[in-house]
């Protein structure tokens, strides 16, 4: 609908807009007249004719332009910036027309000023995601958007919080913003799990705070940041290189080796604990033979219950130790999750891959061992049940008579 208004305005050779309306007197084609008729039938919020008369092919009209969420005309870029506080939050209206540059928001090709405005909005959105705690002091009524950046303590002065009010001006359009894709990627939540991404973000926050701490009488800090965006990038590069110089890949190699040895030792400790406890299993196998040779019912059931208890105890011990193995496996995945092989140079990729493969191999062996131990742990109960179900010198009915006699005696 709003596009029809724009097309009519262009068909009438873009007459001067005064107080939100334009006038036209002259000859028009039949097609333009048909479009005018269509516009006349639109709802009032799309604009309305204050005057509209047609005689032959001559038309005299005065049209009040729309000025709402469905679309709006702006006489200039400066008016567009001043009348759209949402730009300070990185949001561009969807339907608008700017008279002085003859630009409609649905046009395929954007003039340079619009391109610069889009770049500024991209920067604002990235800074909002990067700032400490995001944006604050934003108000629908005042349309204020302020971002927080913390300047670290330097030994002479304590840490200081800097507020960056976002306010786009027409003068900001003369500066080209470089490497916007970089800061968009840096602030994106998709890269939260990348190695050292938090360090990179902290360095960028600190760099922005350092740049903003320089001006003392600057009336618009955001404009100052835009003018000095190249300085921000240069300082970030310098600070990040300083961080890399302090970060030793040999230290990472040592951390990887230490984590691997520590995890392998703990897994071996779990196996050692259960191996000592399961040494009593052969004794329980001998008890199965004693169960077969039980001379009395009391002796049989005491041994039978003892074998069941042994199975329950060993099964509980194995289950508890297996849960411990699962916890160790989870901690290993958590620790080595930060060591992505692609994030390191070639000399560190092999140690990372080798450590993961070794621990995985040990985990599989331990899993098979637990399976075997679990099978052995249930053998006492299985053997006792087998002996119980096979023919004995006395029957289960005899045992029931014995229990009845004991109850009667009581």
The helix (run of H) or strand (run of E) holding residue 338 is none
**In contact, 311 and 377? CB cutoff 8 Å:** yes
222 and 291 together in one domain: no
Residue where a domain terminates, one of 246, 273, 293 = 246
Number of other residues whose CB lies within 10 A of the CB of residue 272: 10
pLDDT at position 120: 93
What are the DSSP calls for 121-173, one per residue? Answer: HHHHHHHHHHSTTSEES--TTT---EEEEEEPP-SSS--EEEEEE----GGGG
Residue 81 lies in a domain: no
Tell me if the pTM is above 0.75. Answer: no
276 and 387 together in one domain: yes
**DSSP single-letter state for residue 134:** S
How many domains are there within the chain?
3
Alpha-carbon distances, residue 317 vs 258, 320, 373, 374 (angstroms): 29, 5, 11, 10
156 and 234 together in one domain: yes
- Here the contacts of 6-10 (C-beta below 8 Å, separation 24 or greater) are 6/97, 6/104, 7/35, 8/32, 8/35, 8/36, 8/39, 8/63, 9/73, 9/97, 10/102
Per-10-residue mean pLDDT for the chain, 410 residues long?
A: 83 84 82 79 75 79 81 89 89 89 89 92 90 53 75 70 88 89 85 77 87 77 90 86 62 71 76 67 67 72 78 79 78 67 58 77 80 77 76 53 59
256 and 242 together in one domain: no
What is the distance between the alpha carbons of residues 367 and 387, in angstroms, rounded to a whole number?
A: 31
- Among candidates 256, 268, 279, 250, which has minimal Cα distance to 347? 250
242 and 273 together in one domain: no
Residue 92 lies in a domain: no
What is the distance between the alpha carbons of residues 33 and 40, in angstroms, rounded to a whole number?
A: 10
Q: Please report, in angstroms and rounded to a whole number, the separation of the first and last CA atoms in the chain.
A: 100
128 and 52 together in one domain: no
198 and 329 together in one domain: no
179 and 319 together in one domain: no
pLDDT at position 338: 60
Residue 269 is encoded by which pair of tokens? Answer: 């400790």
What is the distance between the alpha carbons of residues 334 and 357, in angstroms, rounded to a whole number?
A: 15
Residue where a domain terminates, one of 40, 68, 96 = 68
365 and 240 together in one domain: no
pLDDT at position 247: 56
195 and 309 together in one domain: no
pLDDT at position 111: 92
**In contact, 228 and 253? CB cutoff 8 Å:** no
pLDDT at position 140: 43
Residue 65 is encoded by which pair of tokens? Answer: 């332009």
What is the distance between the alpha carbons of residues 282 and 288, in angstroms, rounded to a whole number?
A: 10
Q: Are strands 17-18 and 146-151 parallel, antiparallel or unpaired?
A: unpaired
What is the distance between the alpha carbons of residues 3 and 96, in angstroms, rounded to a whole number?
A: 9
Residue 283, domain extent = 249-409
Residue where a domain terminates, one of 224, 246, 268 = 246
Residue 104 is encoded by which pair of tokens? Answer: 């409609």
What is the distance between the alpha carbons of residues 353 and 392, in angstroms, rounded to a whole number?
A: 60
Residue 186 is encoded by which pair of tokens? Answer: 């840096």
255 and 372 together in one domain: yes
3-class secondary-structure state, position 142: coil
Residue 88 lies in a domain: no
Residues forming beta bridges with residue 58, ordered by sequence position: 27, 55
125 and 51 together in one domain: no
pLDDT at position 123: 92
- Among candidates 75, 105, 102, 87, which has minimal Cα distance to 2? 105
């Amino acid at each position: 609908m709003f596009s029809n208004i724009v097309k009519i305005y262009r068909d009438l050779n873009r007459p001067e807009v005064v107080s939100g309306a334009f006038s036209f007197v002259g000859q028009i084609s039949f097609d333009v007249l048909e479009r005018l008729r269509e516009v006349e039938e639109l709802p009032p919020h799309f604009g309305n004719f204050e005057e509209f008369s047609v005689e032959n092919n001559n038309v005299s009209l005065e049209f009040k332009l729309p000025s709402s969420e469905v679309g709006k005309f702006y006489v200039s870029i400066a008016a567009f910036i001043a009348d759209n506080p949402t730009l300070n939050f990185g949001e561009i209206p969807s339907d608008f027309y700017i008279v002085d540059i003859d630009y409609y928001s649905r046009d395929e090709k954007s003039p340079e000023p619009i391109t610069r405005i889009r770049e500024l909005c991209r920067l604002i959105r990235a800074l909002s995601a990067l700032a400490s705690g995001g944006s604050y002091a934003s108000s629908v009524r005042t349309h204020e958007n302020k971002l927080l950046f913390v300047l670290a303590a330097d030994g002479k002065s304590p840490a200081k919080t800097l507020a960056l009010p976002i306010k786009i001006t027409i003068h900001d359009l003369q500066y080209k913003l470089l490497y916007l894709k970089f800061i968009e990627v840096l602030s994106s939540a998709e890269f939260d799990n990348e190695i050292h991404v938090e360090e990179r973000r902290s360095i960028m926050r600190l760099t922005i705070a350092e740049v903003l701490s320089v001006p003392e009488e600057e009336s618009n800090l955001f404009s100052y940041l835009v003018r000095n965006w190249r300085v921000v990038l240069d300082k970030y590069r310098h600070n990040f290189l300083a961080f890399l110089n302090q970060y030793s890949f040999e230290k990472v190699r040592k951390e990887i080796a230490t984590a691997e040895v520590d995890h392998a030792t703990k897994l071996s400790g779990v196996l050692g604990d259960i191996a000592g406890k399961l040494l009593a299993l052969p004794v329980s196998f001998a008890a199965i033979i004693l169960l077969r040779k039980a001379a009395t019912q009391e002796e049989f059931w005491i041994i039978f219950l003892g074998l069941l208890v042994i199975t329950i105890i060993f099964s509980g011990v194995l289950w508890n130790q297996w849960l411990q193995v699962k916890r160790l496996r989870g901690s290993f995945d958590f620790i080595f999750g930060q060591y992505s092989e692609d994030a390191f140079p070639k000399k560190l990729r092999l140690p990372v891959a080798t450590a993961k493969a070794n621990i995985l191999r040990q985990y599989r062996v331990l899993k098979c061992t637990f399976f075997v131990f679990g099978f052995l742990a249930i053998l006492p109960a299985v053997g006792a049940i087998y002996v119980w179900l096979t023919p004995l010198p006395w029957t289960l009915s005899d045992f029931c008579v014995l229990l009845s006699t004991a109850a009667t005696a009581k």
